Amino acid sequence: MIDNGASDYVYDEESGEWLSPADAAAQSAGPEVVDAVGNILADGDAVTLIKDLKVKGAGQTLKRGALIKSIRLTGDAQEIDCRHEGIKGLVLRAEFVKKRS
């Protein structure tokens, strides 16, 4: 994005539109990732699984209620990157997790 010199609006080269500073900040932050019940997820959150999931290539099934610590957002509104015992590079769909309080 290029600032046009005016403090009110910012030109977005991708969309070709002039955006207010608040809109530009929201757009650059990326999509909001929400869990199965609508809670907004952030990097470092802990989540629990809401259903049993078979992990392709690992020969394991993650059981309902399993705790996943320290998730990372991928930039996709439907996916989160995480680690679990013995499984590297695990990517889960946000619709199958619930944020742990």
Question: What residue spans define the domains of the chain?
Answer: 1-29, 31-99
CATH of domain 31-99: 2.30.30.40
Average of per-residue pLDDT across 45-72: 92
The whole-angstrom separation of Cα 92 and Cα 87 is: 12
H or E stretch covering 96: none
pLDDT at 11: 82
Query: How many angstroms separate the most distant Cα atoms in the chain?
Result: 57
Please say if the pLDDT value at position 6 is more than 60.
no
Range in 4-8, 43-47, 77-81, 89-93 with the lowest mean pLDDT: 4-8
Q: Are 62 and 33 in contact (CB under 8 A)?
A: no
User: What pTM was estimated for this model as a whole?
Assistant: 0.68
pLDDT at 28: 60
pLDDT at 85: 86
pLDDT at 101: 78
